[in-house]
């Protein structure tokens, strides 16, 4: 049951593809009737349960958003979502609570994120093209190795990696965070792209070959434009993961000037007394906002990507 | 599903006989390696090189300042006496084997409810999926610290119904539980995978079953459940591997200590403390290899066990 994000893989069961024009709508209607069977009451009940459950799921997030606009003493008294005051000062205080304004850390995070995205897009798509379309000896072996590295815990390589990067004087720079992405070490993006390219019709490349195109041209002129959905999925997931990544940023960034958002937020939590939850919540909201926006606008690709490779 | 299938599928391909390559084939080979160049360099210097170095360091005593000193199996033997390490293994196993099944049950249940041509499917899917995207962030860990604190949200809500709360994070018997709740909260990602899997089951199976008078329950046990086992297996392997490596939440919620009383001391957190707190790089490397072995072992066990319960359509 290999799920593929290539459009042609999402085909309906063969039976619905009958050439008679009238057939599909009839079938579809029948299917809907069947699926929506059950009384109106039971359907309504299902929706009520699902909505109630959704509210429970999102309640902590909504509560944090509302609490970030409340004075500190109210946060610990008010479990509801009703806002009586509008305490913007949490945001201004939180923004300036650390050595640099919070925007500084967001810019740092952005640099790492953009570098990682460019790295993943370029290096993973190149490797994917080779695995999906080219013939070379030891291809199966290398492909198997690539798949295995997906499951490799970072802990096994982080110590020597840290030693190498610190010998090179790269600790407290963004190089240790971005360089691995330029070298396609996020292997499941390679895998995701391989899956996608395999779903593209081979006739396109063959026609281009006959017209005298080399592999570089086929890759840049034919394959890359066609694999935009896979590239979008990669961009979105790289954004979210890099933005949220804590372990490697905690290890490589110890100078407060170089802190990214997660590391800055963590130092905020450790340095402040529990009395300033309001400003801590405010900055937490600020730090979640980019991920939320990406989620809002990139949902289609997120869902496709996750269904293909099972990533978080 | 796909990544794992690929792995087992690879072995089946016949090996080509050795022969001289034609000029065109040799050119294609050269082009291939050009396309693979960044990945190959990364594999060498970012993955395999450091892996080998880490294996070597695991047999040494190394603190970054003096050169590594060969100590043979000392680091590994030390683990048998290190009660904190054993405790951290216990904490991690408990976390994995309680929270992953709960998370997958929630994911499957919601996927089944949402599957049947629900109106508003994409809306519900987004709502349930959102926590998966945010759950690993420091911000959510900060939120968790407040929610389960002595005067946090949970206790306020409990007070509304007249129950006196407790310091969930301050109490060693419940601190790990709060992290399990956090992991279960992120059931949206496996749910989306289940939904994709359910969609692959041809509707004609159900139509045929309904025509033969099979009840909904029987349709589930004879069609849905067997055909979904590869996806369940896939999710299980994936979530177990992920949960073994959890770090951020425990680190932030416990303020980097793994406390109270080491009750949230994940294996990765102890590894971090040993390697980057005490600079016991040799010991940390040995721990990393133990983690790799554990993860590999569980993946392997899952694969073996899958022969008995996973049903492959093809």
Asked if A160 lies within 8 A of B50 by C-beta distance, the reply is: yes
Residues forming a β-bridge with B61: B69
Helix (H) / strand (E) containing B70: strand B69-70
Q: Which tokens sit at B18?
A: 């050795």
User: Is the separation of the CB atoms in A163 and B29 below 8 Å?
Assistant: no
Buried b (16+ CB within 10 A) or exposed e, A183-213: bbbbbbbbbbbbbbbbbbeeeebeebeeeeb
Q: Which of B128-142, B172-186, B225-239 has the lowest mean pLDDT?
A: B225-239
Chain-centroid distance of CA B67 in Å reads 35
Number of H helices, E strands in chain A: 16, 0
Gap from B137 CA to chain A (nearest CA, Å): 5
Please report, for residues A124, B232, B246, B279, B284, the alpha-carbon distance to residue B85 in angstroms, rounded to integers and kept in the order given: 37, 31, 16, 16, 11
Three-class DSSP category at A175: helix
User: So what's the pLDDT on residue B188?
Assistant: 93
**Chain B residues with CB-CB distance to A283 below 8 A:** 139
Asked if A151 lies within 8 A of B248 by C-beta distance, the reply is: no
Please report, for residues A60, A69, A79, A86, A279, the alpha-carbon distance to residue A66 in angstroms, rounded to integers and kept in the order given: 10, 5, 10, 9, 12
Residue-wise pLDDT for A7-30, tens only, equals 333 333 333 333 333 334 434 444
Asked if B131 lies within 8 A of A61 by C-beta distance, the reply is: yes
**Chain B residues with CB-CB distance to A54 below 8 A:** 124, 127-128
**Chain B residues with CB-CB distance to A312 below 8 A:** 132-133, 136, 186, 189, 242
Residue-wise pLDDT for B263-278, tens only, equals 999 999 999 999 999 9
Residue-wise pLDDT for B95-122, tens only, equals 999 999 999 999 999 999 887 667 788 8
**Chain A residues with CB-CB distance to B152 below 8 A:** 76
Asked if B245 lies within 8 A of A35 by C-beta distance, the reply is: no
Mean pLDDT of chain B: 89
Q: Indicate the DSSP class of residue B68.
A: P
Nearest to B6 by CA among A228, A189, A194: A194
Asked if A136 lies within 8 A of B32 by C-beta distance, the reply is: yes
| First-to-last C-alpha distance (Å) of chain A | 20
Q: Is the dihedral of CA A168, A173, A176, A180 positive or negative?
A: negative
Q: Which tokens sit at B224?
A: 């849905």
In A, residues 120-159, which contact B (CB 8 Å cutoff)?
Answer: 122-124, 126-127, 129-131, 134-137, 139-140, 142-159
Residue-wise pLDDT for B43-86, tens only, equals 999 999 999 999 999 999 999 888 999 999 999 999 999 999 99
User: So what's the pLDDT on residue B6?
Assistant: 64
The chain B residue lying nearest A81, using CA atoms, is B153
C-beta neighbour count of B73 within 10 angstroms: 10
User: So what's the pLDDT on residue A18?
Assistant: 34
**Chain A residues with CB-CB distance to B45 below 8 A:** 183
User: So what's the pLDDT on residue A61?
Assistant: 95
pLDDT for residue B13 is more than 60: no
Question: For residues A308 and A303, what is the distance between their CA atoms, to the nearest angstrom?
Answer: 9
Say which residues have a Cβ less than 8 Å from residue B31's Cβ, sequence separation at least 6.
A134, A214, A215, A216
pLDDT for residue B9 is more than 70: no
The chain B residue lying nearest A46, using CA atoms, is B113
Torsion over CA of A235, A238, A243 and A247, rounded to 10 degrees? -170
Q: Which tokens sit at B171?
A: 């109490």
Nearest to B181 by CA among B98, B238, B107: B98
Say which residues have a Cβ less than 8 Å from residue B53's Cβ, sequence separation at least 6.
A160, A163
User: So what's the pLDDT on residue A38?
Assistant: 62
Which segments of A36-186 does DSSP mark as H helices, in order?
40-67, 72-75, 89-95, 102-133, 139-150, 155-167, 175-182
Residues B242-259 have a mean pLDDT of 92
Helix (H) / strand (E) containing B69: strand B69-70
User: So what's the pLDDT on residue B57?
Assistant: 95
The chain A residue lying nearest B157, using CA atoms, is A79
Residues B18-24 have a mean pLDDT of 74
Closest Cβ opposite residue A140 in set B10, B245, B314 = B10
Say which residues have a Cβ less than 8 Å from residue B178's Cβ, sequence separation at least 6.
B144, B148, B168, B169, B253
User: Is the separation of the CB atoms in A263 and A253 below 8 Å?
Assistant: yes
Gap from B74 CA to chain A (nearest CA, Å): 18
Please report, for residues A49, A291, B83, the alpha-carbon distance to residue A284 in angstroms, rounded to integers and kept in the order given: 30, 12, 36
Domains and CATH numbers, chain A: 28-95 (no CATH), 102-309 (1.10.3720.10)
**Most A CBs within 10 Å: which of B46, B159, B275, as the mutation test of the A interface?**
B46
**Chain B residues with CB-CB distance to A130 below 8 A:** 32-33, 35-36
Asked if B137 lies within 8 A of A287 by C-beta distance, the reply is: yes
**Chain A residues with CB-CB distance to B186 below 8 A:** 312
Residue-wise pLDDT for A122-150, tens only, equals 999 999 999 999 999 899 999 999 999 98
The chain A residue lying nearest B286, using CA atoms, is A156
**Chain A residues with CB-CB distance to B9 below 8 A:** none
**Most B CBs within 10 Å: which of A34, A155, A161, A172, as the mutation test of the B interface?**
A155
Checking ipTM against 0.85, whether it exceeds it is yes
Domains and CATH numbers, chain B: 82-309 (1.10.3720.10)
Residues B182-209 have a mean pLDDT of 90
In A, residues 169-198, which contact B (CB 8 Å cutoff)?
Answer: 179-180, 182-185, 188, 190-191, 195
**Chain A residues with CB-CB distance to B193 below 8 A:** 306-307, 310
Closest Cβ opposite residue A136 in set B33, B46, B51 = B33
pLDDT for residue B2 is more than 80: no
Asked if A57 lies within 8 A of B128 by C-beta distance, the reply is: yes
pLDDT for residue B257 is more than 80: yes
Top pLDDT among B17 and A214 is at A214
Give the residues of chain A that fall short of pLDDT 70: 1-38, 272-275, 306-312
User: So what's the pLDDT on residue A248?
Assistant: 94
Q: Which tokens sit at A13?
A: 């069961």
Say which residues have a Cβ less than 8 Å from residue A84's Cβ, sequence separation at least 6.
none
Size of interface A-B (CB pairs under 8 A): 307
**Chain B residues with CB-CB distance to A82 below 8 A:** none
Q: Which tokens sit at A107?
A: 């810019």
User: So what's the pLDDT on residue B306?
Assistant: 85
């Amino acid at each position: 049951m290999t799920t593929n994000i290539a459009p042609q893989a999402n085909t309906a069961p063969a039976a619905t593809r009958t050439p008679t024009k009238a057939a599909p709508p009839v079938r579809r209607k029948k299917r809907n009737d069947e699926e929506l069977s059950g009384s109106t009451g039971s359907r309504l009940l299902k929706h009520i349960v699902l909505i109630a459950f959704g509210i429970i799921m999102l309640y902590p997030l909504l509560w944090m958003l509302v609490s970030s606009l409340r004075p500190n003493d109210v946060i610990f008294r008010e479990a509801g979502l009703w806002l009586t005051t509008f305490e913007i000062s949490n945001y201004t205080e939180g923004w300036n609570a650390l050595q640099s304004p919070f925007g500084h850390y967001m810019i740092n995070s952005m640099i790492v994120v953009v570098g990682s995205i460019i790295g993943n897009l370029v290096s993973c798509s190149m490797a994917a093209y080779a695995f999906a379309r080219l013939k070379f000896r030891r291809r199966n072996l290398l492909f198997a190795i690539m798949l295995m590295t997906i499951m490799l815990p970072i802990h096994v390589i982080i110590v020597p990696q840290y030693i190498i990067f610190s010998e090179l004087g790269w600790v407290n720079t963004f190089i240790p965070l971005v360089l691995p992405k330029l070298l396609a070490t996020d292997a499941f993006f390679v895998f995701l792209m391989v899956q996608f390219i395999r779903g593209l019709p081979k006739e396109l490349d063959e026609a281009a070959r006959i017209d005298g195109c080399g592999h570089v041209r086929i890759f840049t002129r034919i394959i890359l434009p066609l694999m935009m959905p896979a590239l979008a999925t990669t961009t979105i997931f790289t954004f979210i993961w890099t933005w949220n990544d804590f372990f490697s940023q905690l290890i490589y960034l110890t100078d407060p000037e170089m802190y990214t958002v997660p590391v800055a937020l963590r130092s905020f939590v450790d340095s402040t007394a529990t009395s300033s939850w309001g400003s801590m919540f405010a900055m937490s909201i600020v730090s979640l906002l980019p991920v939320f926006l990406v989620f809002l606008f990139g949902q289609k690709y997120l869902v496709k990507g996750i269904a293909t490779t099972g990533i978080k | 599903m796909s990544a794992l299938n690929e792995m087992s599928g690879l072995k089946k391909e016949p090996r080509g006989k050795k022969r001289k390559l034609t000029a065109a084939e040799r050119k294609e080979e050269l082009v291939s390696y050009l396309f693979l160049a960044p990945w190959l360099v990364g594999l060498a210097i970012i993955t395999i090189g450091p892996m080998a170095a880490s294996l070597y360091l695991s047999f040494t005593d190394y603190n970054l300042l003096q050169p590594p000193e060969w100590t043979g199996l000392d680091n590994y033997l030390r683990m048998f006496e290190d009660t904190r390490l054993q405790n951290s293994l216990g904490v991690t196993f408990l976390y994995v084997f309680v929270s992953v099944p709960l998370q997958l049950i929630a994911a499957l249940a919601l996927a089944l409810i949402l599957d049947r041509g629900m109106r508003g499917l994409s809306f519900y899917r987004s709502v349930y999926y959102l926590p998966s995207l945010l759950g690993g962030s420091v911000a959510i860990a900060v939120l968790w610290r407040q929610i389960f604190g002595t005067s946090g949200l949970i206790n306020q809500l409990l007070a509304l119904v007249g129950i006196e709360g407790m310091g969930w994070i301050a109490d060693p018997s419940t601190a790990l539980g709060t992290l399990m709740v956090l992991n279960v909260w992120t059931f949206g990602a496996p749910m989306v995978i289940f939904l994709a899997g359910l969609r692959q089951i041809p509707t004609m199976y159900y139509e045929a079953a309904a025509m033969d008078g099979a009840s909904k329950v029987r349709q589930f046990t004879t069609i849905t459940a067997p055909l979904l086992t590869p996806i369940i297996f896939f999710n299980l392997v994936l979530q177990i591997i992920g949960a073994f490596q959890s770090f951020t939440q425990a680190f932030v919620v416990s303020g980097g200590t793994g406390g109270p009383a080491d009750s949230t001391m994940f294996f990765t957190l102890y590894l971090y403390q040993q390697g980057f707190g005490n600079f016991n790089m040799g010991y940390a490397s040995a721990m990393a290899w133990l983690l790799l072995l554990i993860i590999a072992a569980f993946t392997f066990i899952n694969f073996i066990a899958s022969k008995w319960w996973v049903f492959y359509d093809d």
